[in-house]
Amino acid sequence: MNKIVEALEQRFSEQRIIFWYDEKAEFLEQFKDLNLFDITKIHIEGNEFAVKYLTEKQHPYGKFLLYFSKPRPANEDNWLLDMELAHYIFRTDQEAMFLQEIGLEYHFKELVSEHIEFFKAKERRQKLRELIDTDETHQTIRYKMMAVLFNTEYLNLANYIFTLSAAFIDKNERFEKELERYQLKNFFWKEIERKYNYQAVSPSIYDFLIEVFSNNFSIGRRESLNREARLLLISWKDTLQFRESFEHISEKIANDLGVETLLSDAKIDDVIEDDVYKLIDFKILHELINQLINEEITHEKLSFYAKNDRINFGMHK
């Protein structure tokens, strides 16, 4: 009952007349008990013409709740169709109640049905409602649902990836489980495929990260992803909140891919443009020290490496 009152009060703040179709009369008693300030309740039972005269002629500025304890009539038999089209239809199925609470239109009902577990929690609905705008699409709503899931105010895919990666390195499976529970997992990976060209039969965050790092390492480079993957790493390293998780992920991938062995025969110029692994900095520093000791490097070459910001005494950027 409280949910119905809240939803109606919210809608009456914007609407003058609300149509409520309760085809099985399941809420007839609740309708009778409703007490809404400054709202006239009318049970429609063959009194359509009287209602039209009352609402449009006698009280053109009054607010009315028109309740129907039967199915909505076909358009050709609906004597109040012109009024209905100009005003608002209130629905009391679960999906509709959630939509009305959040402030979304009824054509998003299938989206709510698909992700019904997400919408069952009032706290999640309230957080989502704070993010909702007037021009939402199915895609933007799902992005905002993921923002609620990942508990972030930044509505972008990269931030969701950083958050999921940090959870992975901490062995926290919460976000993975919630993506699946709320039926957002498929959408999440489809968006990653669309933006980064990552394709996998069974996608996982670690498999994706291996592709990203490998795509940005000159030795044995994988060309499966697009340029956005490079920008993803740059953004990740520059994001203070996730810098530590980047370092841990980088170290783990370096160990799993045997990067130290791959670097053993590499020259400085082979990896001068790479900075995804701390081992690369160590490799460059080691080679530079040897060349300086053996007087095998020119001042111009040393200046070139310095300008590329690769002489940093082993401190990974």
Classified as helix, coil or strand, 268 is helix
Contact 248, 169 (CB under 8 A): yes
At a CB cut-off of 8 Å and minimum separation 6, what does 155 contact? 131, 143, 144, 147
Flag whether pLDDT at 66 surpasses 90: yes
Could you give the 3-state DSSP secondary structure of residue 37? coil
Question: What is the per-residue pLDDT across 141-183, written as a single tens digit (0 to 9) for each?
Answer: 999 999 999 999 999 999 999 999 999 999 999 999 999 999 9
Q: For residue 134, what pLDDT band results from cuts at 50, 70 and 90?
A: confident
- Distance of alpha carbon 164 from alpha carbon 176, whole angstroms: 8
Neighbours of 233 (CB within 10 A): 18
pLDDT digits over 18-27, tens only? 999 988 888 8
314's CB contacts (< 8 A; 6+ apart) are: 278, 281, 282, 285
Residue 24, pLDDT score: 83
d(CA 26, CA 165): 48
Is 63 within 8 Å of 12 (Cβ atoms)?
Answer: yes
pLDDT one-digit tens code per residue, 238-289: 899 999 999 999 999 989 988 888 777 777 666 666 778 777 766 667 666 6
The pairing of strands 17-21 and 39-43 is unpaired
One-letter amino acid of 147: A
Predicted confidence band of residue 314 (pLDDT cuts 50, 70, 90): very low
Give the HSE-up count for residue 48: Cα atoms under 13 Å, Cβ half-sphere: 12
State the average pLDDT over residues 181-199: 97
Reported as a single tens digit per residue, the pLDDT across 198-208 is 999 999 999 99
Pick from 148, 161, 147, 155: nearest CA to 196: 161
Going by C-alpha positions, the residue among 50, 62, 118 that lies closest to residue 87 is: 62
Cα 68 to Cα 27, 50, 72, 130, distances in angstroms:
10, 15, 8, 32
Phi/psi of residue 160, each to 5°?
-65, -40
For residues 208 and 192, is the Cβ–Cβ distance under 8 A? yes
AA identity, residue 180: E
pLDDT, position 267: 72
Q: State the Cα angle at 15 between 13 and 19, rounded to 5°.
A: 125
Band of pLDDT at residue 129, cut at 50, 70 and 90 = very high
**What local confidence, expressed as pLDDT, does residue 91 receive?**
83
d(CA 57, CA 176): 58
Paired residues of 67 in beta bridges:
20, 43
Answer whether residue 6 shows pLDDT above 70. yes
Mean pLDDT taken over the chain: 88
Q: Where are the alpha helices (DSSP H) in the chain?
A: 2-12, 28-33, 48-53, 81-86, 94-102, 109-114, 116-119, 122-131, 138-149, 157-169, 174-181, 185-196, 205-215, 227-237, 243-257, 259-263, 268-271, 278-293, 299-307
Is-contact 224 198, C-beta < 8 A?
yes
Structure confidence at residue 209 (pLDDT): 96
Q: Which long-range contacts (CB under 8 A, 24 or more apart) does 203-206 make?
A: 205/161, 205/164, 205/165, 205/168, 205/176, 206/168
When mean pLDDT is compared over 52-66, 98-112, 230-244, 249-263, the highest value belongs to 52-66
Residue with tokens 């038999």: 77
